[in-house]
Amino acid sequence: MTRPEPLPRTFLLIDAERFSDRDDVQQGYLRRMLFGIVDRTLLAAGADDSLRRRDDRGDAVTELIDPSVPLTDILRALLRDAPAELRAVNRLAARSAQLRLRAVLATGFVHTDELGGAVGTDLNNAYRLLDGEPLREALRGSRNDYALCVSPSVYSGVVAHDHLGIPKDEFHQVSVATKNGPMEAWLHGPLRSAAAVPPPAAARPQSPAGAPGAFDFRGTNHGVVAQHVQGGITFGPSGERP
């Protein structure tokens, strides 16, 4: 048996929210709508059937895309075409048949075999981003029924360079908790949770202790101007005067 070799691929993972809450008829309809949205989005990016391999996961789709398809084209399609396709579908659907989608775009290496399987650490990490709380929360707060997350490799290779149609200031770094420890990711759109990675705190300038003219107040003061005190000053949490 030939041992499968790792191949570079772009991973697109898309999952339908609350799929199992629907009955069988609704689930069948939602699957057809989901697959249609994915097909039209990837065709807009230039990825036809010959350049991708689909893994049908019931309420979700995984696409392994040939690296010859530019990441910029795929990401533009996910930012522009996927939300437009989703709006078109939901506009004509009953409320019970509305789709809400989480999407992850990542890159890495994957093993594929004659059994139709695909395995790899990079692919596993992409699934962890898809199932992570930051992306789920982003979808709960989304007015567009759609939330997108990209892996660090996609951010550093594409998003960070502010390509046309891919505004980097619309992506925000988050930390995703997993059983193997926190993972970094980048969400598209505004942040709504404590998952955001805070920027480094700026160092606060401090006057050396005992330096001439230095003031160290606790409580409320009513005017320190150009090293001179004006008005009343109170010290301590109780506002006691000296």
DSSP characters over 142-170: -SSSEEEEE-HHHHHHTGGGT-TT--GGG
Q: Tell me the pairing of strands 60-65 and 52-56.
A: antiparallel
Place of tokens 């019970």: 96
Residue 225 confidence (pLDDT): 45
Domain spanning 7-188 has what CATH number?
3.30.70.1230
Task: Check pLDDT > 50 for residue 11.
Answer: yes
Residue 145 confidence (pLDDT): 94
Task: Check pLDDT > 70 for residue 238.
Answer: no
- Whether the CA torsion 117, 123, 128, 129 is positive or negative: it is negative
Of the pLDDT bands very low, low, confident and very high (cuts 50, 70, 90), residue 197 is low
- The pLDDT tens digits of the residues spanning 103-153 come to 999 999 999 877 777 889 999 999 999 999 999 999 998 888 999 999 999
Of the pLDDT bands very low, low, confident and very high (cuts 50, 70, 90), residue 97 is confident
Kindly give the interhelix angle for 133-140 and 121-131, rounded to the nearest 10 degrees.
40
∠ CA 24-27-33 to the nearest 5 degrees? 150
Phi and psi at residue 111, to the nearest 5°: -95, 130
Residue 224 confidence (pLDDT): 45
Q: Which of 16, 11, 82, 13 is nearest to 45 (CA)?
A: 82
Q: Give me the percent of the chain exceeding a pLDDT of 90.
A: 59
Identify the residue with better confidence: 8 or 93. 8
Domain ranges of the chain: 7-188, 205-242
Residue 138 confidence (pLDDT): 94
Residue 217 confidence (pLDDT): 44
- The pLDDT tens digits of the residues spanning 166-186 come to 999 999 999 999 988 999 999
